[in-house]
Structure 1
Amino acid sequence: MHFGRAVATACSSFAITNIDDIFVLVTFFAEASKSGTTTPLMIILGQYIGFTVIILVSMIGFAASLALPSEPIGFLGLLPILLGIWKLIGLSIMPKEEGKEGPGGGGRGDAGESAAESPQIRHTGAGLKSVLKVSLITMMNGGDNIGTYVPLFSQAERAEIAVYVVVYYILLGVWCLIAFMILRERHVLRVAQRYARSVIPFLYLGLGVFIVVKSTCYPWSIKRIDESTNAHAGKAILAALTTFVFVACMGAMLWLRLRERAARLHTDKNSSSVEEHASPPEGEVDGPDTPSLHRPT
């Protein structure tokens, strides 16, 4: 095992799958600053509990993959690539709306907003419920983490997996610290929100390519196909299958994004119509009535 390479891989994979979680954490800390029951310690504890569940689910997926050869598991590296394409399509079709979501593509920003809008818990056991809330939101936002960690673990040695997990837990604490510091520097938060969503898709693409290349899944599959057909058609078959999968997935993604855009435009149009009907007509004064100039006789 190359220790430095394992640490670098752990750092990059954690950053790619959790960079947008910083904005959710900032929302949690902002809520805690205005709450009498939620504290930063509860947020950190809830984050660690939720992330532990994500790691356990990833380990279960990794254990299931042990029943198969390690090489074909590398095709799961296509998941981060498809996730990056999904985010790129959203970035190009509806950049403003995508920025509101949170780069995770899975509605992370919505989760953060729901956390900020949730009512303050003011009864007994409020602390436990705050921890549970943070844990649940962390778990709900962990789909892309699991989709990345399972193929990454399947291509690693046991010692490398241990290094990955230890580094993940260390970086999770660093993430909480960064989010707390960003809350104090609003201009840093604005810059991060502006550029992070443009960078994240390419990071997912790079991670997926890394997993696919490291697993040697394509050379392994080409060799198996050539041996079974005796026609050396492995490259052509895999090229056709890969092209079909990507074209089909990209078509479905484009259709879903266009539907989402149309729905949002329709919602915005209805909201604008309601505001126009609610506003007073031109010529009317919103202030108090002007007193009459004629005195009563």
Structure 2
Amino acid sequence: MNLGIIGQAAGLFAVTNVDDILILALFFAQGAGHRGSTRRIVLGQYLGFAAILTVAVAAAFGATFLPESAIPYLGLLPLALGVKAAWQAWKGPRGGTDEEEAQAKEGGPGPLEVAVVTFANGGDNIGVYVPVFATAGVGGISVYAVVFLVLVAVWCFAGRYFATRPVIAKALARWGHILLPLVLIAIGLLILVEGGAFGL
């Protein structure tokens, strides 16, 4: 296996996913102390990134599941989740629905929520990956995919590591319920504005 292409893949992943570590740390902080939360977050991260890879590989081979003009509107997904999280934080523990109470007992976000945020936040990554994949060939794409999927695990570990450092954990425990909605809303707005959605 060519070490050069492994290095390129690792560099490309790191540059395009550096912001994911903050989001993962917030998710891990939200699920701290709840059994199974790490598994759900990691599963969601893999689902979201697998969707990004699938779309990018398909586009590299000429299929377009996701028109380029639709990518900016992916910002609506984290925006909606951010507004929902803000509403739940504002409402506090007062009488929620059965579904909300079940989620509170489980602790932290579910896999689908993490997957949606990962996919929406990585929508712009697709535009970077497609030309690289298109010139890499099947063998090269396989190497990129393997390296990316290994690095998703490293990113999850890094996010959990930061979320469990005493100083950071204390800050996230105190402010995480405010930070997570703010970060999700900011990501959603950034994707919408940078992509020119709604003529912004």
TM range (shorter): 0.5 to 0.7
Is 1:153 the equivalent of 2:133?
yes
Higher relative contact order, structure no. (Cα contacts within 8 Å, ≥ 6 residues apart): 2
Retained in 2: the 8 A contact 1:22–1:178?
Answer: yes
Alignment gaps of 5+ in structure 1: 66-105, 191-251, 261-297
Using the alignment, how far apart are the partners of 1:178 and 1:166 within structure 2?
Answer: 19
Number of aligned residue pairs: give it: 151
Map Cα deviations across residues 211-262 of structure 1 (whole Å, 9 max, x no partner).
Answer: xxxxxxxxxxxxxxxxxxxxxxxxxxxxxxxxxxxxxxxxx97xx8xxx8xx
1:195 alignment counterpart = none
Using the alignment, how far apart are the partners of 2:140 and 2:132 within structure 1?
Answer: 10
Match of 1:43 among 25, 41, 44: 41
Using the alignment, how far apart are the partners of 1:64 and 1:110 within structure 2?
Answer: 30
How far apart are 1:144 and its partner, in Å?
A: 1.6
Retained in 2: the 8 A contact 1:24–1:109?
Answer: no
Using the alignment, how far apart are the partners of 2:121 and 2:80 within structure 1?
Answer: 8
Using the alignment, how far apart are the partners of 1:45 and 1:181 within structure 2?
Answer: 17
Q: Give runs of aligned pairs for residues 216-227 of structure 1, distance below 5 A.
A: none
Name the SS of the counterpart of 2:136 in structure 1. Answer: coil
* Structure 2 counterpart of 1:136, one-letter code: V
TM-score of the aligned structures, taking structure 2 as reference length: 0.62
Structure 1 residues 173 and 4: CA distance shift in structure 2, 3 A: same
How far apart are 1:166 and its partner, in Å?
A: 0.3
Retained in 1: the 8 A contact 2:78–2:117?
Answer: no
Structure 1 residues 108 and 178: CA distance shift in structure 2, 3 A: farther
2:100 alignment counterpart = 121
Match of 1:180 among 155, 160, 173: 160
* Structure 1 counterpart of 2:43, one-letter code: L
How far apart are 1:123 and its partner, in Å?
A: 2.9
Q: Give runs of aligned pairs for residues 15-26 of structure 1, distance below 5 A.
A: 15-26=14-25
- Runs of 4+ in structure 1 deviating by more than 2 angstroms, as ranges, are 106-124, 184-187
Structure 1 residues 115 and 18: CA distance shift in structure 2, 3 A: farther
Structure 1 residues 137 and 109: CA distance shift in structure 2, 3 A: closer
How far apart are 1:111 and its partner, in Å?
A: 8.1
2:61 alignment counterpart = 63
| Root-mean-square deviation over aligned CA pairs | 3.7
Retained in 1: the 8 A contact 2:78–2:120?
Answer: no
Alignment gaps of 5+ in structure 2: 64-74, 89-98, 172-192
